[in-house]
């Protein structure tokens, strides 16, 4: 084959080809489109971390109902965490008379606490390990308690107290109460409860149920059982906001609508504490409905309470806030 090197020859050949194409009787379809872009397949880099059993490789069975799976907890820390939860379990059952009386269809016979070494490790691993958000201080994942083989999980991390320098498991007591309350005081899984949380790992369906919801109780009882009558953080926050909410307002608290950390946890703590201390008969009537999963009955009961308890709650709250002086331990989590 002879190569053509002459520039004039190349131009002539190009013109001939162009004229030939223009004279062709073959129809050439022309389409308009968006500006041509290079075809590029973007492959998102996803870091695959080691499985949870490799990261949380230490396993301690505290008793038949409490398991701790941790990254770097010392034996002393494990002993302390086990003792704390065992004591709290006894206190919960004494408070609600629920020992040996789980709600119907609940097979969550044990809680497994999963403890990362730090907030950094929690943020790095927990979403992949548990399909959960990590913009929080830990989560209780109930799963589906009626399903055989379901495992209730608590996921959190170690944190150092700013005041004492002591290392502890963040929110351990609060989240353990969620397990106890879910097994002994509330029928069904998380999506059965009255709230407006649609995040993972449960991804509860929309639309949310109508108000009132039961978030005030679920989170408030977690704080109340964990802290009992000593809650400096809640005292400080509610004192600053005293008069902002009536008790009837707090019954309409939810995860997103009418939410916020102070309203949910600090005000929720005092709402539950007031009900437990001054309206125990009303609480027992409510718990009968919750243990049966009767959401409509619960809402009817709260509507019946209406604003009738508001004035007494405000009076009780004013006195309680003024009389609290104790300092709470580092393990409280706030």
Instruction: Report pLDDT digits (tens) over 67-124.
Output: 999 999 999 999 999 999 999 999 999 999 999 999 999 999 999 999 999 999 999 9
Q: What is the full DSSP assignment across 169-227?
A: ETTHHHHHHHHHHHHHT--S-GGGSS-----TTT-PPSSPPPSP-SHHHHHHHHHHHHH
Task: Name the active-site residue from 89, 153, 158, 175.
Answer: 175
For residue 163, the model assigns a pLDDT of 83
Task: Give Cβ neighbours of residue 110 (< 8 Å, ≥ 6 apart).
Answer: 64, 65, 66, 67, 151, 152
Instruction: Report yes or no on 172 lying in a domain.
Output: yes
Name the domain count of the chain. Answer: 2
Instruction: Report yes or no on 42 lying in a domain.
Output: no
Which residues constitute the domain of residue 54? 50-189
By CB neighbour count within 10 A (0-12 exposed, 13-18 middle, 19+ buried), where does 314 fall? Answer: middle
Are 135 and 221 in the same domain?
no
Give me the residues paired with residue 55 across strands: none
Are 268 and 151 in the same domain?
no
Are 214 and 293 in the same domain?
yes
CATH at residue 152: 3.40.30.160
Are 165 and 257 in the same domain?
no
* 43-69 per-position pLDDT tens digit: 455 678 999 999 999 999 999 999 999
**Is 152 strand, coil or helix?**
strand
Instruction: Report yes or no on 16 lying in a domain.
Output: no
Confidence of residue 2 (pLDDT cuts 50, 70, 90): very low
Mean pLDDT value across the chain: 88
The C-alpha R_g of the chain, in whole angstroms, comes to 30
In the chain, pLDDT over 70 holds for what percent of residues? 83
For residue 327, the model assigns a pLDDT of 58
Are 245 and 174 in the same domain?
no
Confidence of residue 333 (pLDDT cuts 50, 70, 90): very low
* 157-167 per-position pLDDT tens digit: 999 988 888 89
Nearest Cα neighbor of 178 from 234, 104, 108 is: 108
CATH at residue 263: 1.10.390.20
Question: Which of the two residues, 23 and 186, has the higher pLDDT score?
Answer: 186
Are 163 and 273 in the same domain?
no
End position of a domain, from candidates 189, 223, 240: 189
For residue 140, the model assigns a pLDDT of 97
| Helices and strands (H, E) in the chain, number of each type | 13, 6
* 10-24 per-position pLDDT tens digit: 334 443 443 344 343
158 catalytically annotated? no
Interval 283-291 mean pLDDT: 98
Are 108 and 82 in the same domain?
yes
């Amino acid at each position: 084959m002879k190569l053509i090197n002459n520039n004039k020859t190349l131009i002539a050949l190009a013109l001939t080809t162009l004229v030939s194409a223009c004279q062709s009787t073959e129809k050439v379809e022309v389409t308009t489109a968006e500006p041509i872009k290079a075809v590029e397949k973007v492959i998102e880099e996803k870091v695959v971390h080691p499985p949870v059993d490799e990261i949380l490789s230490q396993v301690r069975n505290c008793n038949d109902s409490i398991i701790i799976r941790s990254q770097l907890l010392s034996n002393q820390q494990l002993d302390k965490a086990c003792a704390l939860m065992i004591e709290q379990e006894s206190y919960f059952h004494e408070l609600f008379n629920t020992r040996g009386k789980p709600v119907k269809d609940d097979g969550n016979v044990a809680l497994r606490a999963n403890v990362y070494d730090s907030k950094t490790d929690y943020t790095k691993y927990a979403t992949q390990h548990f399909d959960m958000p990590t913009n929080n201080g830990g989560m209780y994942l109930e799963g589906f308690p009626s399903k055989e083989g379901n495992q209730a999980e608590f996921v959190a991390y170690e944190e150092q107290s700013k005041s004492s320098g002591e290392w502890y498991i963040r929110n351990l007591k609060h989240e353990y109460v969620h397990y106890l309350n879910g097994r002994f005081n509330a029928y069904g899984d998380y999506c059965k409860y009255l709230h407006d949380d649609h995040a993972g790992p449960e991804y509860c369906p929309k639309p949310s149920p109508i108000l009132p919801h039961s978030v005030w109780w679920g989170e408030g009882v977690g704080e109340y059982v964990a802290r009992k009558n000593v809650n400096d953080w809640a005292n400080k926050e509610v004192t600053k906001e005293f008069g902002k909410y009536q008790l009837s307002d707090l019954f309409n608290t939810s995860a997103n609508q009418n939410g916020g950390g102070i309203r949910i946890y600090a005000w929720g703590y005092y709402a539950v504490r007031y009900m437990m201390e001054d309206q125990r008969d009303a609480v027992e009537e409510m718990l009968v409905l919750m243990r049966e999963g009767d959401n409509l009955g619960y809402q009817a009961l709260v509507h019946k309470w209406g604003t009738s308890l508001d004035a007494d709650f405000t009076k009780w709250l004013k006195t309680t806030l003024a009389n609290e002086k104790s300092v709470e331990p580092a393990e409280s989590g706030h």
